[in-house]
Structure 1
Amino acid sequence: MSETTMHVGLVIYGDLNATSGGFRYDRQLVSYLREQGDTVDVISLPWRSYPRGLVDGVSPSIRAKLDRSVDVLVQDGLCHPSLWRQNHQLEKPGAIVTLIHHLRSDDPTERFGPTFRPFERRYLESVDAAISTSQFSRTRACELAAELGRKPTLVAPPAGRTEGAAVTPERVRKRAVTGPLRVVYLGNVVPRKDPKTLLAAIARGHPERDWELTVVGSHDADPDYAASVVMAASEYGIDDRVEFTGKIEPPGLEAILERSHVCCVPSRYEAFGMVYLEAMEYGVVPIAGSVGGAGEFVEHGHNGFVVEPGDEAGITTHLQELDDQRGRLAQLGKRALVTARQHPTWDESMSDIRAFLGKQSDGEQDV
């Protein structure tokens, strides 16, 4: 426990226990701060449509929930619709720090994303400091709101599930030479993560290749889209090669990762990409989308591959290469293990955040 403790407020939408990488990051932060003896108030705001959220941005009742005597008020940046006009009117927090998982106005699957920019910009201009989960997110936020670049910022990447290597290099080598190429998709079945491009890539190898695909993730975020993905597998004639598990508990996920060769989530936008790191902990070779922060730890051709959005042909080429060259599959998998071992742990990133928050609560303004 730290000798100097803080009173921290954390603003989120909805339930802190919700399923997503962002909420998992927020939970890790709350847990770490409390372990250090800090008091953390989780301030849950209603999760509404974007237009309705903007109305909350001028709501006195929302302002009353936010304006409390805390040393630091940390705000999940995804809540910006409800905060864009609130911060300048808050009198009690010692400092306001945004936690940027990704910019909503950057998401290419947000139909009205470009119209979000003025509100997201105004929000970013209203905070005292910023924490980003990747250098990519920090850069994009400072490009959107130039004023933010003159304020204190910190990049604190998330960790994986095991925080290091979950299997041995020898296990990766043996797995690489056994059975058909086994591919796993990890994540909610939503347009931003683009599972349809992966299905198209798998279909390109059919029927010559006996690749197997396991799609792990909830269908609840966008049920209509998820249903269309299941239908697409049937239309491509590969439904006998594709298993949709839905959301599964950690033991089941770990078992899938232990037997998989490749993790492909060809996201159109991914601010960090925790699933790639989680796969690398098992020596599973990641194929990641190029737009976002995954390139900060997935090195193309060294420990995985990075593909442009919608590049089904590129994905097929990489799968064919790994299928035909099992020694290379093992080599990339073992390099992925090294990356996972060297990546910051949750405690390291959360410790950096806590020190950063302490400086903001003390009024230090080093950029």
Structure 2
Amino acid sequence: MSTDTSMHVGLVIYGDLGATSGGFRYDRQLVSYLRDQGDTVDVISLPWRSYPRGLLDGVTPSIRAKLDRPVDVLVQDGLCHPSLWRQNGQLEKPGAIVTLIHHLRSDDPTERFGRMFRPFERRYLESVDAAISTSQFTRTRACELTSGLDRKPTLVAPPAGRTEGAAVTLERVRKRATTGPLRVVYVGNVVPRKDPKTLLAAIARGHPERDWELTVVGSHDAEPDYAPSVVTAATEYGIDDRVAFTGAIDTPELEAILERSHVCCVPSRYEAFGMVYLEAMEYGVVPIAGSVGGAGEFVEHGHNGFVVEPGDEGGIAAHLQALDDQRGRLARMGERALVTARQHPTWGESMSDIRAFLGKQSDGEQDV
């Protein structure tokens, strides 16, 4: 079915499409775009499970019944693979099955049993007709995991940010760089994968000589056994008077924090794309990103941001010190970050690419 005419698309997710993570925001953008183009989109919600319980859903007839419907294309969020690894081979009604890979769970170093996930994630990827990835990094890793995936149709469609361009002016970035103490922001759930403790250790290296300020924005509910230890770490380092934990906040408050910040540091141990870095760059905020993942596809080390190895608190501290000491460099890097955000593909461009790709799969085209 050509995209000149409407399609009937199914989108398989876990839980509620309104959830706050970047992956769900991407899924919402896709649903909204397709519907705006006149397509019918069925959102098929599967229940969140523990990984072992999810694998049982992979052989459960009631799950199969929810999935087996006469859509042109059945798009599946790859995070649902525990519930899908065996189901896809039993489906008869979808015209094509396309996975949307936000994040390979077996790749995540903070997944305690990640290596045990690998056979099921591999089998799932073998069962699809085509794949969409949010970064070239993720596409490459998926093809390395799954023999033959590189011979199937694939598409890289990166997410955009919050404002899709520049949220502030170059003049604002230049002026901000010269004012006040160095203001650093962390944005993301307070979880081990995003490694806020390494950032706290880096901030502590500058204490008490440096008056750096850190704002930690993000929910403490995702890992309730871990988050309190992060708050405690700030106290143990003696920097609790320099660190503000906001918890989850609404968009206007986040935008206000980004507008006054100089640096956004989320030293993730694994980040398939890293939407937060792009969102910071829209405000001319210099990103410090983890090296494992897709951030290096738009964060150019030393030019518009920095890329650090996992756990490199010394490297983070050195970059913060350099930017604090060289405010002209801070301004120039912020300006380049802003230009990068302006040039990045918009949501509309990426979603248009996806729609064209889905149209080819519903037509049975096999361009790789």
TM-score range relative to shorter protein: over 0.9
Matches within 5 A, 1:292-311: 292-311=293-312
Match in the other structure for 1:37: 38
> After TM superposition, which residue ranges in structure 1, 4 or more long, deviate above 4 angstroms?
none
CA distance in structure 2 between the partners assigned to 1:135 and 1:102 by the alignment:
12
CA distance in structure 1 between the partners assigned to 2:258 and 2:121 by the alignment:
37
Match in the other structure for 2:227: 226
CA distance in structure 2 between the partners assigned to 1:346 and 1:7 by the alignment:
21
CA distance in structure 2 between the partners assigned to 1:182 and 1:299 by the alignment:
21
CA distance in structure 2 between the partners assigned to 1:223 and 1:184 by the alignment:
21
CA distance in structure 2 between the partners assigned to 1:5 and 1:218 by the alignment:
39
CA distances 1:51-93 after superposition (whole Å, capped 9, x unpaired):
0000000000100000000000000000000000000110000
- Distance apart, 1:24 and its partner CA: 0.3
- Distance apart, 1:223 and its partner CA: 1.1
DSSP-derived class of the 1:82 partner: helix
Q: Normalised by the size of structure 2, how large is the TM-score?
A: 0.99
CA distance in structure 1 between the partners assigned to 2:4 and 2:320 by the alignment:
52
Higher mean C-alpha displacement, 2-11 vs 90-99: 2-11
- Distance apart, 1:240 and its partner CA: 0.3
Match in the other structure for 1:256: 257
CA distances 1:99-121 after superposition (whole Å, capped 9, x unpaired):
00010000000000001000000
CA distances 1:296-355 after superposition (whole Å, capped 9, x unpaired):
000000000000000000000000000000000000000000100000000000000000
CA distance in structure 2 between the partners assigned to 1:279 and 1:197 by the alignment:
19
Match in the other structure for 2:338: 337
CA distances 1:180-227 after superposition (whole Å, capped 9, x unpaired):
000000000000000000000000000000000000001110112111
Match in the other structure for 1:24: 25
CA distance in structure 1 between the partners assigned to 2:225 and 2:173 by the alignment:
37
Alpha-carbon RMSD: 0.6
Match in the other structure for 1:198: 199
DSSP-derived class of the 1:98 partner: strand
Matches within 5 A, 1:1-367: 3-367=4-368
- Distance apart, 1:262 and its partner CA: 0.1
DSSP-derived class of the 2:155 partner: strand
CA distance in structure 2 between the partners assigned to 1:277 and 1:71 by the alignment:
33
CA distance in structure 1 between the partners assigned to 2:123 and 2:308 by the alignment:
33
- Distance apart, 1:3 and its partner CA: 4.4
- Distance apart, 1:19 and its partner CA: 1.1
DSSP-derived class of the 2:336 partner: helix
- Distance apart, 1:256 and its partner CA: 0.2
CA distances 1:158-201 after superposition (whole Å, capped 9, x unpaired):
00000000111110000000000000000000000000000000
DSSP-derived class of the 1:318 partner: helix
DSSP-derived class of the 2:148 partner: helix
Q: Normalised by the size of structure 1, how large is the TM-score?
A: 0.99
- Distance apart, 1:147 and its partner CA: 1.1
DSSP-derived class of the 1:41 partner: strand
CA distance in structure 2 between the partners assigned to 1:153 and 1:97 by the alignment:
9
CA distance in structure 2 between the partners assigned to 1:192 and 1:24 by the alignment:
19
CA distance in structure 2 between the partners assigned to 1:185 and 1:229 by the alignment:
13
CA distance in structure 1 between the partners assigned to 2:328 and 2:53 by the alignment:
54
CA distance in structure 2 between the partners assigned to 1:306 and 1:34 by the alignment:
37
- Unpaired runs of at least 5, structure 1: none
- Distance apart, 1:260 and its partner CA: 0.1
- Distance apart, 1:146 and its partner CA: 1.9
- Distance apart, 1:151 and its partner CA: 0.1
DSSP-derived class of the 1:146 partner: coil
Alignment size in residue pairs:
366
DSSP-derived class of the 2:226 partner: helix
CA distance in structure 2 between the partners assigned to 1:176 and 1:146 by the alignment:
49
- Distance apart, 1:366 and its partner CA: 0.6
